[in-house]
Structure 1
Amino acid sequence: MARCTHLDQIRPVTAASTGCEECLALGQRWVHLRECLSCGHVGCCDSSRGRHATKHHRSSGHPIAASVEPGESWAWCYVDEEVVGQ
């Protein structure tokens, strides 16, 4: 089983927004939110129309985003395609 090799890129971050930054600007809705653990960008999940968390990863190269849903404590490494923590 592969292990995420990007944990060293997790930084103490403060969420940049209370919702998906791009969806808020576009007047769109989202399903779930993810927070980049490198910079604090908040984007919507892949079940959302915009898929902005994944787009942020692709444009920034930041590897790990955490769920910001109540009661969830996991994160996803886009590079290694693996759940981190739980």
Structure 2
Amino acid sequence: MPICQHLAQAQDPAPRTPQGCEECLATGDRWVHLRKCLSCGHVGCCDSSPNKHATAHATVIGHPVIASFEPGEDWRWCYVDKIIG
């Protein structure tokens, strides 16, 4: 299995918006699932959501790792190495 330094070094910051997607809450949009950035705690909507804010955040800001922010899910994804952990 490939080793991903981004996943190995990821932190677990507090969510910046524990109740939903940061951008969708500001605009009144809806989301499907939530993802949390493990660099800064940004909470964004998943790629199944119309706005794909989690991926947009990773692309613009450059933070490499997200985690599911859904109850009962325990996985992380590295955008750089395209590896789930």
TM-score calculated relative to the size of structure 2: 0.91
Name the structure 2 match of 1:15. 15
Identical columns (%):
61
TM-score calculated relative to the size of structure 1: 0.90
Alpha-carbon distance between aligned partners in 2 of 1:50 and 1:64, rounded to the nearest angstrom: 19
Alpha-carbon distance between aligned partners in 2 of 1:53 and 1:80, rounded to the nearest angstrom: 16
Name the structure 1 match of 2:84. 83
Deviation, structure 1 residue 42: 0.2
CA 1:61 to 1:9, structure 2 compared with 1: closer, same or farther past 3 Å?
farther
Name the structure 1 match of 2:67. 66
Name the structure 1 match of 2:50. 49
> What are structure 1's unaligned runs of at least 5 residues?
none
> What are structure 2's unaligned runs of at least 5 residues?
none
Kindly report structure 1 stretches of 4+ aligned residues shifted beyond 6 Å. Answer: none
Q: CA RMSD, aligned part only?
A: 1.2
Q: Is the 8 A contact 1:35 1:67 kept in 2?
A: yes
Number of aligned residue pairs? 84
